[in-house]
Amino acid sequence: MEITYGFSPFRKEYHKMVKDGLITSCPFCAESDMESQAIRSQNGEPVENEFSRWVINKYPYSDGHTLVVPKRHISSIHDMSRDEIISHHEMIRFAADTLQKLYPDAGIETFLQYGKGSRMSLPHLHTHVVLALPTDTYRGMQKLGYFEAFEEDEEKIIMLPVKVTLVREKLIEALAKVIDLSELAKYTTAQ
């Protein structure tokens, strides 16, 4: 059996920070973090609606790895108000369509996890909005680390590391070219 695995050096960086106790407060509540992770239009306006933001994953697993994050610090889907749920899903739809402008052959997968037993690493709810490419060899939640390796040459059955390239600042730049913020209003569900 052939298994392709993702190798993201950014995850290694993240796990080291967690191990060294360097993540002491919620980055999704820190304006400086949200500033640097904001996905923006070409004139620099962050993509956000009333209750949620669209940001890049600072420690991505794969190309085009983004997150939709509620503005309020909430840890469970049960803490979301009806307006927050609607706003969150409108932002997911905008994110999905925008990612597909950048990757016309891609489908979209979204993942949300919370609570004990999940792999949620931050107690601030967030939905991963990621690409589903025809070349993907793993699907669904497996993308969030099931085959994750921390060393590029770690022993596996067969190792075919997939390089993570279009992420962080490069992803923000690439997305800015296809974002049309005037379209965001169209994603507002009629009351």
Where on the chain is the footprint of Zn ion (CB under 5 A)?
A: 26, 28-29, 73, 124
C-beta of 12 vs 124, nearer to Zn ion: 124
Considering beta carbons, is residue 122 or 176 the nearer one to Zn ion?
A: 122
Instruction: Say which residues have a Cβ less than 8 Å from residue 172's Cβ, sequence separation at least 6.
Output: 38, 39, 40, 56
How many CA atoms lie less than 13 Å away from 55 in the CB half-sphere? 22
Residue nearest to Zn ion (CB): 26
Rounded to whole angstroms, how far apart are CA atoms 119 and 115?
A: 8
C-beta closer to Zn ion: residue 93 or 124: 124
Nearer to Zn ion, 20 or 31 (CB): 31
Contact (CB, 8 A) for 96 and 108? yes
Closest approach of Cβ 23 to Zn ion, in Å? 12
**Nearest-approach distance from CB 72 to Zn ion, in angstroms:** 8
Phi and psi for 77 in degrees, rounded to 5?
A: -60, -25
Residue 88 CB, nearest approach to Zn ion (Å): 14
Smallest separation (angstroms) from Zn ion to the CB of 71: 9
How far apart are the C-alpha atoms of 98 and 184, rounded to whole Å? 10
